[in-house]
Amino acid sequence: MSMAIINTFGNVDVYILLLSSWFLVSAVCVWGRPATFLQDFEITWSKTHIRQIDQGRAIQLILDQNSGCGFASKSKYMFGRVSMKIKLIPGDSAGTVTAFYMNSDTDTVRDELDFEFLGNRSGQPYTVQTNIYAHGKGDREQRVNLWFDPSADFHTYTIMWNHHHIVFYVDDFPIRVYKNSEGKGIPYPTMQPMGVYSTLWEADNWATRGGLEKIDWSKAPFYAYYKDFDIEGCPVPGPANCASNQSNWWEGAAYQALNAIEARRYRWVRLNHIIYDYCQDKSRFPVIPPECLAGI
């Protein structure tokens, strides 16, 4: 701030006030979102196995022979974008599952959008499984082998959900797209708000090579780390017209389909890293599911 401004106001107190305001605006611009853990989330399972780090800006999840753990958002949301930075279990993590997902928390007609990171034996690629439940119907698993070591550093995992499609992102790479084809009679989650959840748990009956690889408890405890918790959506309860408001940024033209760069990245992932797609599994689905025929 120049001396000319001080001279204009002729008051040092005004200068101090303006300087303070400038620092405040700057801080908002620099920090803004993401939130601390306790602003948006609460521990739902085994408080002793979730530790806050860096004054709540990051957390550590712990799995040992006594317990896993989990947390959930305090609110549910209709449409929007949810992302977290996660550093997964290093080394021999076979039989463990680190999950990050959205769920309507309804028993009979469930909507759910899943990231499930399946532990592995050391030296093998980390697999991420995605699944989608719409109007109570699931069994839509796809698996992708990650092209980097997700335990070496934090990576951003994002779920985008709007009236047009659902997109799962790993960093800036879309790994799965599920289009809204309700007009063709294909279920799509449009009626129920969903909370944001995460768990770290034992699943060695299926997680690694179909359950062939069991947890080596001599490697326990297992740790996963989360930070940069970012939820942008319509909270429920909240303004009644929020979810249908086409002016929400996530409903904008730029988010109604993949852009050219995203489309190239998506093709690259599908060609080089997908290892399972329920649409291709004729043993489970002799009749191809209708959403697969719709090009989803």
Q: Which residues are annotated as catalytic?
A: 112, 116
**Residues paired with 41 in a beta bridge:** 73
Q: How far apart are CA 94 and CA 152, in angstroms?
A: 17
Residue 141 half-sphere exposure toward CB, CA atoms < 13 A:
14
Tokens of 76: 């549910």
Tokens of 157: 């995992």
Q: How far apart are CA 284 and CA 109, in angstroms?
A: 22
Beta-carbon contacts of 262 under 8 Å, excluding residues fewer than 6 positions away, are 172, 173, 174
Q: What is the CA radius of gyration of the chain?
A: 22
Q: How far apart are CA 278 and CA 142, in angstroms?
A: 6
* CB count in 10 Å sphere of residue 109: 14
Residue the block writes with tokens 């463990």: 96
Query: At 228, which helix (H) or strand (E)?
Result: strand 222-236
- Chain centroid to CA 58: 15
Q: How far apart are CA 21 and CA 169, in angstroms?
A: 37
